[in-house]
Structure 1
Amino acid sequence: MEAFITLSGMAAPLDKINVDTDQIIPKQFLKKIERTGFGIHLFHDWRYLDDAGTESNSEFVLNFPRYQGSKILLTRENFGCGSSREHAPWALQDYGFYCVIASSFADIFYSNCRKNGILAVVLQAEEVQALFDEVEANEG
């Protein structure tokens, strides 16, 4: 795990509530125990229109050119709910996210982020909304 003191970078706005770990990294991609190689499958069912992952969904935010290379994921409440798989933070990190900002996280997901070097930031819903407004107005 690579520690960081300061993080500066673009934020990608994932405007969804109750994002569960099955959406973060679908179960069919959990067949290995190495911590790498999961980023390509991050949000697979939303990012791609086909099961093979060859046809990108142009309407999904992480496929927008303006959010390519984002280091911060901005999202809504109850992020990381569902099963307790540690693969979810691995997929986020492998994709390039070092920080996730939301108004709340599932407890186990929050703990798994901390163990794996992802900063999970909890803000009030109004503060999260202000960040969404800022990110969308200024392209990241």
Structure 2
Amino acid sequence: MQAIKYIEGVAAVIENNNIDTDQIIPAEHLKITNKNGLGEHLFSNWRYNPENQENKNFVLNKQETRNSKILIAGDNFGCGSSREHAPWALLDFGIQVIISSSIADIFRNNSIKNGLLPIVIDKSSHEFLLQQNAKIIVVNIEKQQIEVEGKTIDFELEPFVRYCFLNGMDQLDFILSQQNKITEYEQQQKRYA
């Protein structure tokens, strides 16, 4: 993982509530065990028509939002199954941040472990952000703030999650960074055995 203090980019808005992991990455694409290339199948049932041509009306196919780094989604994003392919597909597509008024717990945990930042904000701020399609948004992880159109929105991150993103490490990297303390503890325990 790479250290991230802030992410600036164009926002894409999908207002739908209850977007589940099968909508994010349909089941027929789960045979892939490599993360690379999954972005091509992100929201494939919405992005492509039955003839496998791009749906020009879908937000991530539009010129102004095709390269979005920030996805603002309706309530209860990432519900459904626990497939880790969902955050993999979002990241491979280029999405680095998901913002919603609520994010399903398993999806949220899978996202954090893979370097996709899930942000939950209050309802009124969420309503405002749902109106910001194709606008430049800055997500400042250090300050825990979202900036758009002259407005600042505060959000909360668990201290450990914030630490990991700011220092470019996942949970395993953190454990490995504590190797000296772990070794010291194990040696102390041997003395008492």
Gaps of 5+ in 1: none
Greater per-residue strand proportion: 2
Q: Take 1:2 and 1:36, find their aligned partners in 2: how far apart are those partners?
A: 17
**1:2 has 2:2 as partner:** yes
Q: Take 1:111 and 1:15, find their aligned partners in 2: how far apart are those partners?
A: 22
**1:65 has 2:63 as partner:** yes
Aligned residues: 135
The 5-angstrom pairing of residues 1-140 of structure 1 reads 1-50=1-50, 53=52, 55-133=53-131, 135-136=132-133, 139-140=134-135
Structure 2 counterpart SS, 1:77 = coil
Question: How high is the TM-score relative to the length of structure 2?
Answer: 0.67
Runs of 4 or more consecutive aligned structure 1 residues displaced over 6 Å after TM superposition:
none
Structure 1 counterpart SS, 2:50 = coil
Percent same amino acid among aligned pairs? 47
Aligned CA RMSD, in angstroms, stands at 1.1
Question: How high is the TM-score relative to the length of structure 1?
Answer: 0.92
1:33-75 CA-partner distances (Å, limit 9, x unpaired): 1121100000000000026x3x111111111111021100001
Q: Take 2:61 and 2:35, find their aligned partners in 1: how far apart are those partners?
A: 23
Q: Take 1:90 and 1:3, find their aligned partners in 2: how far apart are those partners?
A: 18
Structure 1 or 2, whichever has the larger Rg, is: 2
Contact 1:86–1:109 (8 Å) recurs in 2:
yes
